[in-house]
Amino acid sequence: MRSVGFALQGLQALWATQSNVRIHAVATLCVVAAGGYCQISRSDWLALVLAIALVWVAEALNTGIEWAVDLASPEHHPLAGKAKDVAAAGVLLASLAAVVVGLLVFVPYLL
């Protein structure tokens, strides 16, 4: 139970400090609402849930990496910058993949 408490504290820290997390939350709500409106299939829900989870996990890991790098290297260092850039690239890749999944799921319902 302590581990769950720590994880919930992490979610709270993400929400309180990361504006992109709030954007992800709005996008998540929009996708879930669209899925309900379009009455998408169970397999489409599976694809969407996995895509949403991938983006949220990537954002959480990116934030953790950024904070750890800031702690380890408070002054600017080229490798610290690269580490943070690569972590941010992970979020970008996950988000692009989620957009592709969203298009694959919703375009047939819209046509």
Is 97 in contact with 51 (CB distance < 8 Å)? Answer: yes
Average pLDDT over all residues of the chain: 96
* Catalytically annotated residue among 24, 35, 54, 59: 59
Question: pLDDT for 36-56, tens place per residue?
Answer: 999 999 999 999 999 999 999
Which domains does the chain possess? Answer: 2-110 (1.10.287.3610)
Q: Contact 47/105 with Cβ under 8 angstroms?
A: yes
| Block residue for tokens 């998408």 | 40
Instruction: Give the confidence band of 83 by pLDDT, cuts at 50, 70, 90.
Output: very high
Higher pLDDT, 43 or 111: 43
pLDDT score recorded for residue 100:
98
User: Is 59 one of the annotated active-site residues of the chain?
Assistant: yes
Residue 28: which residues within 8 A CB-CB, separation 6 or more?
Answer: 52, 56
- As a whole number of angstroms, the distance between CA 44 and CA 82 comes to 36
Name the pTM for this structure. Answer: 0.91
Residue type, 82: K
The separation between CA 97 and the C-alpha centre of its own chain, rounded to angstroms, equals 11
